[in-house]
Amino acid sequence: MLTENHGKEPSKGITMENSTIENDIWFYEQNGERKGGVTETDLITLIKNGTLRHGSSVWKKGFPDWTNIEDTQLREHLDDTTPPPLTGAKVNNTVVWILAFAPLIGLTLEYFVAYLVHSSEYRAERAVANEHFIYITLILNIALSFLDEKKLKKSGTDTSTFSGWVWLVPVYLYQRAQTLKQNLAYFIVWIVCFLLIVIGA
């Protein structure tokens, strides 16, 4: 009997140890992908090298859903490395509002360049109507999107969820507003400006 009981104890201990290890396995989100599982020590390393920051989502067994890393016990390591990102209310929105009116600004620049090239108001209007200078508006929109995204990064905002959309401005503006928990005003303004150009063409 002693031999049997003695033989069962290690098995029970191993089960408890395996359960503890399983509960200590973490998963994290990066660029829209689920990664893991890793240990808590691995997560701390990812925090220190800047891979994980305020706003990064993590999960482990026992969590009801994905949780911001600053809302877990890992917050103390986060606070040692980087300050939290600026909130949506404090982010500088100057560039994004210029971007909101970029369709109209771009069209104005198209007329200006067309007139310089053709030295004739009629020819300039025809050139713009035939979209000979539409690349000016496209470059302006994309350049402003890139500039805005870079400024957000400097403010500490994790732009990984929408930085890939800088090539498609309305999607970029929508995703930006959602991530920063801002209203959709600049997204709506861009759509209205774009529609005004399409209707007036």
Instruction: Tell whether the model's pLDDT for residue 5 goes beyond 50.
Output: no
**95-99, 135-139, 161-165: range with lowest mean pLDDT:** 161-165
Give tens-digit pLDDT for 114-132.
Answer: 999 999 999 999 999 999 9
- What is the separation, in whole angstroms, between the first and last Cα of the chain? 93
Give tens-digit pLDDT for 25-54.
Answer: 999 888 767 888 899 899 889 888 878 877
Whether the CB-CB separation of 61 and 75 falls below 8 Å is answered with: no
Query: Mean of the per-residue pLDDT values for the chain?
Result: 83
Whether the CB-CB separation of 23 and 30 falls below 8 Å is answered with: no
Share of the chain above pLDDT 90, in %: 43
Q: What is the average per-residue pLDDT within 95-106? A: 96
Q: Which of 57-66, 84-93, 176-185, 187-196 has the highest mean pLDDT?
A: 187-196
Whether the CB-CB separation of 36 and 25 falls below 8 Å is answered with: yes
Q: Is the pTM of this model over 0.85?
A: no
How many alpha carbons fall within 13 Å on the CB side of residue 193?
22
Q: When comparing pLDDT for 77 and 191, which is higher?
A: 191
Domains and CATH numbers, the chain: 17-79 (3.30.1490), 94-200 (no CATH)
> Which residues are CB-contacts of 136 (< 8 A; sequence separation ≥ 6)?
106, 109, 110, 113
Beta bridge partners of 49: none
Instruction: Tell whether the model's pLDDT for residue 7 goes beyond 60.
Output: no
- Longest CA span, the chain: 106
Whole-number pLDDT of residue 168: 93
